[in-house]
Amino acid sequence: MAVFRDRPYVQFNFLVDLGDGVTDGPQAGFQELSGIGMEVTVSEYRTGNSLENSVQKITGMNKSTDVTMKRGVIGSLNLYRWLNQIRDGDPLAMRTVLIHLQSEDHQAIVQTWKLLRARVIKHTSGPFNAKGTDVAMEELVLAYERLEME
């Protein structure tokens, strides 16, 4: 599904599916997503009778980084309900979250990031400031177990 080209895509053309199949409307509209990634650990090992005085690099566990998502407060409780499911120990609360990058004309999805077995681990509202002109924001942090890209 990933489409290769010479120039990078513009960063603001993305859709978010929070595991409910909805990518349109204000509930799926996020201003910013950051931290999508994974890391593979490497263990160093050297046998006692090795002729070389160097270590072997052995591939170890992999881990995914937490993703931070921000949007303006719109009076929707969908994120709170999901967090509440997790807080109550619902085993069905883990979801597959999809992040789709679109082409500039919004006619095609050019790359997708799949966050498998994702769950909300933090939700923050605010800051609220009566003096400023900023928009009230809410921030969601997701932990997930595996990242796949298409």
For the segment 28-59, what is each residue's pLDDT rounded down to a tens digit? Answer: 888 899 999 999 999 999 998 989 889 999 99
- 25-33: long-range contacts (C-beta < 8 A, 24 or more apart)? 26/74, 26/76, 27/74, 27/76, 27/78, 29/71, 30/69, 30/70, 30/71, 31/70, 31/71, 31/72, 31/137, 32/68, 32/69, 32/70, 33/67, 33/68, 33/69, 33/70, 33/99
Q: What is the mean pLDDT of residues 66-77?
A: 90
Helix (H) or strand (E) run with residue 114 in it = strand 109-125
- Cβ contact 22:28 at 8 Å: yes
- pLDDT surpasses 80 at 64: yes
Nearest to 19 by CA among 150, 140, 119, 124: 119
Task: Write down the pTM of the prediction.
Answer: 0.85
Per-residue model confidence as pLDDT tens digits over 78-135: 888 999 999 999 988 999 999 999 888 888 888 999 999 999 999 998 888 778 778 8
pLDDT of residue 68: 96
pLDDT of residue 132: 75
Confidence of residue 67 (pLDDT cuts 50, 70, 90): very high
pLDDT of residue 4: 82
pLDDT of residue 147: 96
